[in-house]
A and B are shown apart, each in its own frame.
Chain A
Amino acid sequence: MFGSINHTSSVTNSLFSRQFLHPPLQDHAGIKPFFGGRRSHTATSFSNDVDQLPTEAPLQQELNFPGGKVKFMPKRIFTSGSNEERTNCYRVLNENGELIVDSDSLKISKELGVKMYKDMVTLQVMDTIFYEAQRQGRVSFYLTTIGEEAINIASAAALDNNDFVFPQYREPGVLLWRGFTLQEFANQLFGNKYDYGKGRQMPIHYGSKKHNYVTVSSTVATQIPQAVGAAYSMKMQKQDSCTITYFGDGGSSTGDFHAGLNFSAVMEVPVIFFCRNNGWAISTPISDQFRSDGIVVRGKAYGVPSIRVDGNDALAIYSAVYEARKMAIEKQTPVLIEALTYRAGHHSTSDDSTKYRPVDEIEWWRDDQNPVKWFKTWIENKGWWSDQAESEQRSSVRKQLSQAIQAAERVEKPPVADMFNDVYDVPPKNLNEQEVILRENIKKHAQEYPSNVAV
């Protein structure tokens, strides 16, 4: 199940996958795909024995349809819309922070484990403080990753820095793992001149080419086919890397999700589809989003190997993504991972989720199922962490953050010229004219113009 995309016998495999994708094209080696699939009887058996009933030719038991042999059945049996049992969920750490017996979790080193935990803490603290900053009016918008720290950090830890990331918007942890500093985060939030996006995007729409993390685009799920295209590019250029794209349960309803998965399977490209099924798409619960058994079952529909993991178990996520990446690159196949978790914070600073969901539900997931807490228990049990280290880490991050925020706040905003650059590779005449008009206006009404923006 895990390893194979091809559904059937090796004979008909060649109808589809490998042979199709290697140049130059030839006749399909004598295997003719035929529709309506009736193998023609050889002419001799009929013309010679006209009167003889064709009792020798056995009745068809199956249809040789493109994609593989299909057995017939004489009874109307509709497959149910859902299975009795839901797809199992891969988990290796229990809620007491203990490794489950016979789990096949990958072993991680102390260095890796501690870095993972530290980054999870940093992410948690960062979210709290930046959220506060928005509430204080210093930042215009923010969205937290509370409850999904394990997904962010553990998945990033299992990847290589050359793997291209196509995020939705709730994955700043991946950037954090790769070395994006708190100052760089703050610069983007304040849209100052050090922001790599040059102040052009809303807060939390991070992007960094040097970290192989594509700029967040507000539109939902448009990154999914882009990730497939990037994986296609990697396949064409024979690179030893994959792409990963993240999206939520809501994003899985879009047309782009469908086509992205479909394409990736047809083209056999190394892409990891990571679905953060956190139960809510703003105020839409998953019961209103789909009626399938989550997103993991859809992988099969497209021919994509899939797995469901516990999104609050950092070790499980790490192991699953590590394996998925290996599969994706070695076998040149897409992989779908559905992580079950919970959006413990509000959708964003523009949302108050207590309006549509019970407070005790939020509290249960945020406190009892807290991924940071679980992982902490595990590394403490291993002797790699302590309470003192914890308080040091938290206070150090808090201090860095407040410094970063203060510094970012004071930095100038990008200059007016940056409004017109990068629309094209070189500004065309009409944009140059428009810039001149704008500058004239600024000069004329200098007092209306903000003082912290360079002209």
Chain B
Amino acid sequence: MSSMLSSALRNLPVSSAWAAGALARSLSCSSQFQAAVQPKTKKTLGKTGVKNVVVVEGVRIPFLQSGTTYADLMPHDLARAALQGLLTRTSVPRDVVDYIVYGTVIQEVKTSNVAREAALGAGFSDKTPAHTVTMACISSNQAMTTGVGMIAAGQCDVVVAGGVELMSDVPIRHSRKMRKTMLTLNRAKTLGQKLSLISKIRPDYFAPELPAVAEFSTSETMGHSADRLAAAFGVSRQEQDEYALRSHTLAKKAQDEGLLQDVVPFKVPGKDTVTKDNGIRPSSMEQMGKLKPAFVKPYGTVTAANSSFLTDGASAILIMSEEKALAMGYKPKAYLRDFVYVSQDPKDQLLLGPTYATPKVLERAGLSLSDIDVFEFHEAFAGQILANLKAMDSDWFAQNYMGRKSKVGAPSLDKFNTWGGSLSLGHPFGATGCRLVITAAHRLKKEGGQYGLVAACAAGGQGHAMIVELYPQ
């Protein structure tokens, strides 16, 4: 059935050679990777009167499919491991850290300020305040930019930002009726009152309440929205499968070549040390083609194989004012430059954040798309990425929906997520943003670029983009 339908949708001109082409090109570049190429000389993006903020280092624990090795841990355990990894990697004196911000999406109710619990357990000073932010899939982007703001405003010099998500365990609640009864029970004084309350409990009170997988405002699941988005932009099943295959293939290659330097090992209590992401699985078009649509049944195009999977993971990044970093003898990796947050219709444009954010951040930085050497976009769904690329390349869309005169253009796939992305590396909601930034920094150094552009979509119809500039070598 699905093959029959995808063939019906296959009337679109986008080349199926994308993945293959990009693959070949990145292979041919690999020899250049041996020696870091000197960056092209472009202007730097520093602004007078604004403090330069730099990334000193960023790490993450391996991203694992939920229900695997991290299954029995709690979110703060993962965040703790990432923070400890950062401390080990940088040897930053713990009392130097002025502030800690963490992003997370699905909160463990016991550790609602997971930043604080993780920091205390990771050996940071108990004098370092910490707070937790949430902004769906751009939560750790928000954590980083919160830190950037604090440093730029002169409130802090050293901030640790990060993100964590543990999809192996999510809070499942009693039903509202049951909760109400239980809370009233607390206040009941006499045995009679208690018994009368208990006698009112009915079987349906025991039905559990799962955390919402759907967008609250529209009641639509993200996968369903992604399928509609792909259809709206005429992205075929085959294109999506090809893009997903590309992501896995590139991630595998990056992993094999040891390019994923941000990964720090994590000794899980009672289990072996985890050293690698475990969701990278290059498959074949045939295998992927066999899958049934996961959301729009039976004729949709988004499947388990061309979507990002439920992931456990955590990341942490050390950001400082440039003077402070230099004074402490660090060699920063990159500047964090202009950034924007955007939001749009959560129903029909839920996942188009990058399309809206990219031209805006380029404008703020005074750059054009061709100035960007490295693109790191969050891959929620292959269909979402491809729809964004088509939207960015459409004058019609720019004029009718973005109020712009013309399109910003689609990034070249040669520069796009060449070390894999969320589809293959995994996507712990709250932690992905830091991975994008540090990967952009590492790729700039490796590939000899100067500017990286990080962009992501998020539930609620929001989006984010940031310019990362390589620190002069």
A binds B: no
A-to-B contact residues, CB < 8 Å: none
